[in-house]
Amino acid sequence: MTLAEVLGHEPSTSYGVVVAEVDRAGWAAVVTDVRDLGYAFFDVLTAVDLEAEGFEVVLRLWDPAARKGVVLRTRCPREDARVPTLTEVFAGAGWHERAAAELFGITFDGHATAHLLLSEGFDGHPLRKDFVLASRVAKRWPGAKEPGESDADLAAELTADRTGRGSRRRAVPPGVPTGWGPPR
């Protein structure tokens, strides 16, 4: 059996990497079949926040004998962020699924994920694109220039800050909602 037969379509190649889309419902079954083709080394499982398009769960497997790899991807909508677990296929998938569950808020059906990286009281999923990075608002990044500023503008602003005179209003960093955080 070939990879194309297992997938039901010909995989694409991007930058020398074989990439295949997999339907969410058949995720675990297809991964099992790909593993049985010789892609028995579980490399990494992570996710990508595609905003309005939902999430993409990305898995990289490696065939050590043939020295080639494959990237399998499946998508889930934002309002139903769940994917079947791969812990029955690869024991090493457990850690990766826990990290993705915590950092992206994706549920892996059949895997009771516990906290791995964040504290129990942490609110939110920090790798989602809608997660506000509070440090961008609370503390100014030293040496950062706004778009269109020159080095002279930055030097004048730093001099004004040291002398106690007010400086111009800074723009809100990308990813921070309008009106969020301390006054500027």
Domains and CATH numbers, the chain: 3-109 (3.30.460.80), 132-178 (no CATH)
Model pLDDT, residue 130:
86
To the nearest whole percent, how much of the chain has pLDDT over 70? 73
**Comparing 30 with 153, which gets the higher pLDDT?**
30
Q: What is the pLDDT of residues 47-97, one digit of tens each?
A: 999 999 999 999 999 999 999 999 999 999 999 999 999 999 999 999 999
In three-state secondary structure terms, 49 is strand
**Identity of the amino acid at 19:** V
Model pLDDT, residue 23:
96
Using alpha carbons, list the distances in angstroms from residue 61 to 4, 67, 74: 15, 11, 14
The per-residue b/e assignment along 159-175, b for 16 or more CB within 10 angstroms, e otherwise, is eeeeeeeeeeeeeebee
Model pLDDT, residue 165:
54
Model pLDDT, residue 39:
96
Contact (Cβ atoms closer than 8 angstroms) between residue 91 and residue 116? no
**Per-residue pLDDT band at 44 (split at 50, 70, 90):** very high
Task: Write down the pTM of the prediction.
Answer: 0.75
Model pLDDT, residue 124:
87
- Does residue 13 register a pLDDT over 60? yes
- Does residue 3 register a pLDDT over 80? yes
> What is the torsional sign of CA 40, 68, 95, 28?
negative
Model pLDDT, residue 139:
61
Q: What is the pLDDT of residues 107-145, one digit of tens each?
A: 999 887 778 888 888 888 999 988 877 666 666 555 556
Model pLDDT, residue 161:
55
To the nearest whole percent, how much of the chain has pLDDT over 90? 59
In total, the chain counts a number of residues equal to: 184
